[in-house]
Amino acid sequence: MDLEKKTAIVTGAGSGIGRATAVRLAKGGARVVVSDVNEEGGKQTVEEITEAGGEAFFFRADTSKPEENEALVREAEARYGALHVAVNNAGIAGPMEPLVDYPLEDWDRVIAINLSGVYYGMRAQIPAMKRAGGGSIINLSSILGQVAFHGLTAYVAAKHGVVGLTRIAALEYSADGVRINAIGPAFIRTPMVDALPEDIKRGLIEKHPIGRLGEAKEVAELIAFLASDRASFITGTYYAIDGGYLAQ
């Protein structure tokens, strides 16, 4: 119970890595604010947590809107008195198109959610954590925050940007007891990946020296470690969790 009585926000917690993370943090004793634009998925995550004896509630928030990030943090403090952990996980892939042909409306949407959403989240979360005496923020980047992938123009740009945001925030707020780190999952078995054609999935598996895709619960374990006091001297870093993808 290394997160007992800590309050945690997880965005994009209605499925995939977000849901696995919310469940894992609750298992560690955290009181979890489950957030997503998908109300049905978010409420299912809350149900999974509470049926296992954990504590959680759902709050709908669109992370691409600064005022909704602020409302999310206010609600966490109102319900549980403080904010100690935030996992900025909400994100979308966007279409696959070469840079010159990439639709402008999709560029704006992917950047708004995947990059600006992380900034808006931290902008609201850091003052709350300072009020709580410190905390830990984990931002979801990707292996594509370090390397590129044909066609994913906006996604690659946003995930690189998340790493930079994480580093500057860590430099500026470490003295306040707020640790901020980024993680870089490779291709993880989530509903989005599971829906891909089998030949594409086989191609993705071949890119991982470990010989398989990752599991959401494996990513959740890394997040839970970084959220806990076991990682008390770790800030401003990027952790790949990628089955050897970046070693090639």
Residue 97 DSSP symbol:
B
Q: Cβ-count burial of 81 within 10 angstroms (0-12 exposed, 13-18 middle, 19+ buried)?
A: exposed
Is 245 an annotated catalytic residue? no
According to DSSP, the β-strands at 7-10 and 31-36 are parallel
Q: Which alpha helices (DSSP H) does 81-140 contain, by range?
A: 104-111, 117-132
Q: Cβ-count burial of 101 within 10 angstroms (0-12 exposed, 13-18 middle, 19+ buried)?
A: exposed
Catalytic residue among 155, 173, 239, 245: 155
What φ, ψ does residue 213 adopt, rounded to 5°?
-80, 160
Which residues are designated catalytic? 155
